[in-house]
Amino acid sequence: MKFSPDGKYLLLVRGISRFGVDNKHIVKIEYATMKTQWLTPVDAACTEPAWSLDGKRIAYIACDDKRPVSADEKDHDNVPDRVAQQHLWVMNENGTQKAQLTNDTNYHENAPRWRKNGAEIEFERTTNPTMNQTRSLWAIGAEGKGLHWLKDLPPLE
């Protein structure tokens, strides 16, 4: 749950599943009236929203949401594959102009946060399971240009 910089709105991730890449959608709620606006599509699992410093943009993590369509299908066999497809996106605060900023298949991203300059988004990258599982901190311009490495991070325990 994240409040907008002006405190008028709240971002929530809504969905029913124990998996972070399954049935997750970003919702904006006007705090005073509780008016709800769904910002992300039903065919994408979207998590980790982060307001820009001016409250006009939202960075988030998304991947395809390929839930089983019936109870007969095997339970979530493709969850690891979907985690490997989690990438950084950005959209306007009203859900328009969604743009994917990263798409390197060697990595998946998480933990986006806007840098103090307001023009870049910092995020963590993890190499996908077929690799050595290293973590690092990166930044990219909010328009998708200027991707650059900042530092290596310790492995998750």
pLDDT tens per residue across span 97-112: 999 999 998 899 999 9
Residues with Cβ within 8 Å of 104's Cβ and at least 6 positions away in sequence, in order, are: none
Is the pLDDT reported for residue 122 higher than 70? yes
pLDDT tens per residue across span 12-34: 999 877 766 678 999 999 999 99
At 58 the three-state DSSP class reads: strand
pTM for this entry: 0.88
pLDDT tens per residue across span 27-54: 999 999 999 999 999 889 999 999 999 9
Pick the CATH number of 2-67+76-153 from 3.10.129.10, 3.40.718.10, 2.120.10.30, 3.50.50.60: 2.120.10.30
Is the pLDDT reported for residue 73 higher than 50? no
